[in-house]
Chains A and B, each alone.
Chain A
Amino acid sequence: MDTARLNRWLLGPAVKPVLFLACLLPVLWLIYATASDQLGANPAEALIRSTGDWTLRMLCLVLAVTPLRIQFKLPALARLRRMLGLFVFAYAVLHLLCYAWLDMGLEPGDIARDIAKRPFILVGFTAFVLLTLLAATSWNRAIRALGAVRWQALHRLVYAVAVLAVLHFFWMRAGKNNFAEVQVYAGVLGLLLGWRLWRLWSGQRPRTAVGQARIDQGPR
């Protein structure tokens, strides 16, 4: 397909609302399935696991934006990145909420003890804290206040989030040597992070921070 046309299409007014609704579909389905008793014999477990799955999927999506944008010369993709990033955070919030409520009965003491005691919970919670930092600095005034360079440095934490998220999932599955799904997410995220390393090492310097920030804010 003609990239110039695709790019123009991506700049169209419908793209953002459509993407927003598409990202909302999983949570709408989960609400519907919970209400209509379609989550099987253990709905609590199903909710905790699927919100975790969707956090990982959203993370894959948001980290695919820059590689796709550069490899396929689609600068228009950049304006979708913030929304996707906020959806990662939103699903992470739901995941944490499901764990805290359905598994721990919203007992602050129990939750704190669980986080401190269990490495895989601690790793997941650390990823959540980092995501909170990123979400809290995702709006325009925060970007301006930090300055583009510092903002970009801070938001590279998303790479750490990706590593922690895969580790969290790996550890959760480790007891049963059930790594098939873990490998899929590790593979996708590894590819996306590997692409960035490859760009760095092969001397193709990433775009300057200021230029990046300008693109992220979208066309005015």
Chain B
Amino acid sequence: MLIKTRDDGFAHPVPSEITPQEVYQDRRQLMRLMAGGAAGAVLASWATRDARAQMPAPGASLPGRKSAVSGASTVEKLTDFKDASGYNNFYEFGMDKSDPARNAHTLKTTPWTVAIEGLVKKPGNYALEDLLKLSAMEERIYRMRCVEGWSMVIPWVGYSVAELIKKVEPLGSAKYVEFVTLADKKTMPYVGSRVLDWPYVEGLRMDEAMHPLTLLTFGMYGEVLPKQNGAPLRLVVPWKYGFKSGKSLVKIRFTDKQPATAWSVAAPQEYGFYSNVNPLVDHPRWSQAAERRIGEDGLFAKKRKTLMFNGYEPQVGQLYAGMDLKKYY
């Protein structure tokens, strides 16, 4: 936010705005940050990278600098951390919205590697520690619209997945990126339930994956991701319905064919590959024209209007120029 008013800041403190204990106790780093301005901020994030790599436990501090990406910082009121971390769809840990917060503690997030595969010059297994260091962490305050008709505003921490893609150098023949998530029966009690084919697979077109808003996410609210939100790293694609943003990623595969994504396989008439937020294309069982903002819209308040591409049309609209979005839902 550029202009702070009395309604911001102290009126609505959020965890991400509170200086973490580790930061204010580290005076030298703080002075470097103050003295160096913007350059200092970059330096500071570089300086802390090893410290961060050593403590990827959920709840540990993971600050991100302000993002310069267009559309990356909505000024809407943040959803309470309690709701964002307690009301989740993460079916590997149960079907009920409160199940993931209850069950995800069994997930083991260290050690963690992500396999880069397919049509790419630098395939291989990338350790979480290296991914954390790959680019500077940014805070991105995104609207999150679930296909079920509710929404949140969440301050994520991460960097554009484009940074990783550029590093691993996809071949010219790579047209899509497939994101495969963990399916470990030992630590995820509902893997094996008949809801979906496991593992949960999501995918994007290459230009969607390369869009700066597409975030490789390691934290939220200034902290390492809680396990129920997809620790240790997940995708966040703010202009698509939430299920397009895979959690607890273990594999990123570059391919020339459109990936068979989990929901479009399970219920092709209800969920398409694109699944862009679109108030004009209804889900067969409910309207997508409106949404309920969790924790904000009162029980008897009318639902708010859903925006085209979840309000990110200026940034992503051109990706779909000329496409029939009713056909490619």
Contact = CB atoms under 8 A, between A and B. Distances in A.
B285 A175 contact: yes
A177 B87 CA distance: 20
A43 B299 contact: yes
Contacts of A103: 303
Contacts of A138: none
A103 B86 CA distance: 22
A77 to B, nearest CB: 35
B35 to A, nearest CB: 42
B97 A41 contact: yes
A120 B285 CA distance: 7
Given A40-B86, A40-B87, A177 B266 contact: yes
A218 to B, nearest CB: 40
Contacts of A43: 299
A43 B83 CA distance: 12
A120 B95 CA distance: 21
A214 to B, nearest CB: 45
Contacts of B194: 177
A33 to B, nearest CB: 12
Nearest to B297: A44
A66 to B, nearest CB: 34
A40 B88 CA distance: 11
Nearest to B86: A41
Contacts of B111: none
B97 A171 contact: no
Interface in B289-329: 292, 294-295, 299-300, 302-303
Contacts, number: 52
Contacts of B285: 118, 120, 171-172, 175
B207 interface: no
B292 A176 contact: no
B294 A41 contact: yes
A43 B295 CA distance: 9
Given A118-B286, A175-B270, A177-B266, A44 B292 contact: yes
B329 to A, nearest CB: 14
Given A176-B95, A178-B195, A44 B287 contact: no
Interface string B78-102: 0000110011000000010110000
Interface extent on A, as a size class?
20 to 34
A169 to B, nearest CB: 12
A42 B294 contact: yes
Contacts of A178: 95, 195
B196 A177 contact: yes
Contacts of A19: none
A199 B34 CA distance: 85
Given A101-B300, A102-B300, A42 B270 contact: no
Contact of A176 (B195, B282, B286, B295): B195
A105 interface: yes
Contacts of B266: 176-177
A41 B83 contact: yes
A123 B294 CA distance: 29
Given A42-B97, A118-B284, A177-B267, 6 more contacts: A47-B299, A102-B299, A117-B282, A118-B286, A176-B95, A178-B195
24 contacts: A34-B299, A40-B86, A41-B82, A41-B83, A41-B86, A41-B87, A42-B150, A44-B299, A101-B300, A102-B300, A105-B302, A114-B287, A118-B286, A172-B285, A174-B267, A175-B267, A175-B270, A175-B284, A175-B285, A176-B95, A176-B195, A176-B266, A176-B267, A177-B266
